[in-house]
Amino acid sequence: MGGLPRLLPPDATFCAQAEPLLDVKTLEQSTGWMKGILTVLPDARYELKSFARDTAGNNVAAYAVFYGTHTGPGGPVPLTGQRISTDYVSVMQFTGDKISHLTKIWDAGLAPKDLGWA
C-alpha cells in the first residue's frame, strides 16, 4: 500500500485546561478543532516566540501567539469582525520520533471576549 505516512499517531493523546477544549482528548481531535477555527477566523496565523527541547524529559515546548479575525462563517454569534491575539504554549511529549501526547496551555477565557463572543 502506497500513500503518505501517517503524520499523527492514532493513539496520541491531548489535554488542555481550557473550556473550549475540555472534550478534546486526542491529538487528531485537536487538529480537527483547529481546522474548524480556521473557517471562523480565515486569516488566522501564529507567531512562534520560543521553542525549547528538553532531552531528559523527551519533550518540546513551543510558545506562540495566535492571531485571527472573526470574518468567516460560524462561531457562537454572527460575524463580529473583531480580532484576537492570544498566547499559548504547546508541550509535545515524544515516544521515539512521534508525538505521543500534547498539552496545550492557554487562558481561553479572554479569547471569546476579544472576539465579541462573550
Architecture of domain 16-114: Roll (3.10)
CA distances from 98 to 24, 62, 64, 88, 92 (A): 19, 16, 21, 21, 9
- CA–CA separation, 50 vs 12, rounded Å? 23
CA distances from 59 to 6, 9, 10, 16, 46 (A): 20, 16, 19, 16, 21
Domain boundaries, the chain: 16-114
Note the pTM of the prediction, 2 decimals.
0.86
The set of residues, in sequence order, having a beta carbon less than 8 Å from that of 91 and lying 6+ positions away, is: 59, 60, 61, 102, 103, 105
pLDDT per residue as tens digits for the range 86-112: 999 999 999 988 899 999 999 998 888
In tens digits, the chain (118 residues) has pLDDT values of 344 455 677 889 999 999 999 999 999 999 999 999 999 999 999 999 999 999 999 999 999 999 999 999 988 888 999 999 999 999 999 998 889 999 999 999 888 889 988 8
- CA–CA separation, 69 vs 67, rounded Å? 7
